[in-house]
C-alpha cells in the first residue's frame, strides 16, 4: 500500500544538525513533488519545505531558509531534510507528505526536540 515512513528524529542541542529521512513505498516516488510539514507540541500545522519531483527546485518557509535543505534520492525512493543550526523553536513533529495538488498522503511523523 501507499506509505511514507519518517525516521531520524531525536533530541539535539541548539546549534547542532540533524537529518530526517522519509521512505516512500507503494507508488512511483519520482513522479511526485514532496513536502515537509511540522507541528510544534500543542500547536497547529506549519508547512516547511517543498521539492519538485525531479529535485530541480525547492522552496522553504522563511524561518528555515539558509538552515534547512530538502533533497531526494529517487533511486532510493527517499526524501530528506537536512536541518542545521537548530533552534528551540524548531521543536516539532516533522511529517513528510506527498503532493498531488494537495497533501494527499502523510507519514506518521518523527519528533525533533531542541532543548532551550
Partner 1 sequence: SYELTQPPSVSVSPGQTARITCSGDALPKQYAYWYQQKPGQAPVLVIYKDSERPSGIPERFSGSSSGTTVTLTISGVQAEDEADYYCQSADTSGTYRYVFGTGTKVTVL
| Chain residues that interact with partner 1, rule: CB under 8 A | 35, 37, 44-47, 50, 59, 61, 95, 101-104, 106-109
CB of 3 to partner 1, least distance (A): 11
State the residue for C-alpha cell 500500500.
Answer: 1
Residue with Cβ nearer partner 1 (44 or 75): 44
Task: Give the residue among 85, 6, 102, 15 at the shortest CA–CA distance from 50.
Answer: 102
Using CA atoms, how far apart are residues 33 and 24, in angstroms rounded to an integer? Answer: 12
Q: C-beta of 108: minimal distance to partner 1 in Å?
A: 6
DSSP designation for 25? E
In the complex, least distance from residue 16 CB atom to partner 1, rounded to whole angstroms: 26
Give the residue with the Cβ less far from partner 1, 29 or 94.
Answer: 94
Residue 7 or 17 having the CB closest to partner 1: 7
* Count, residues in the chain: 116
Nearer to partner 1, 85 or 108 (CB): 108
Range 91-101 burial, b when 16+ CB lie within 10 A, else e: bbbbbbbbbee
Amino acid at each position: 500500500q501507499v506509505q511514507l515512513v519518517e525516521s531520524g528524529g531525536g533530541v539535539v542541542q541548539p546549534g547542532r544538525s540533524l537529518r530526517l529521512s522519509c521512505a516512500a513505498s507503494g507508488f512511483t516516488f519520482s513522479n511526485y513533488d514532496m513536502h515537509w510539514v511540522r507541528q510544534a507540541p500543542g500547536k497547529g500545522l506549519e508547512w516547511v519545505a517543498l521539492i519538485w519531483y525531479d529535485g530541480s527546485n525547492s522552496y522553504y518557509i522563511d524561518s528555515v531558509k539558509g538552515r534547512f535543505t530538502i533533497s531526494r534520492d529517487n533511486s532510493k525512493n527517499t526524501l530528506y531534510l537536512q536541518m542545521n543550526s537548530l533552534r528551540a523553536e524548531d521543536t516539532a513533529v516533522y511529517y513528510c507528505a506527498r503532493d498531488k495538488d494537495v497533501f494527499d498522503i502523510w507519514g506518521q511523523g518523527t519528533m525533533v526536540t531542541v532543548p532551550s
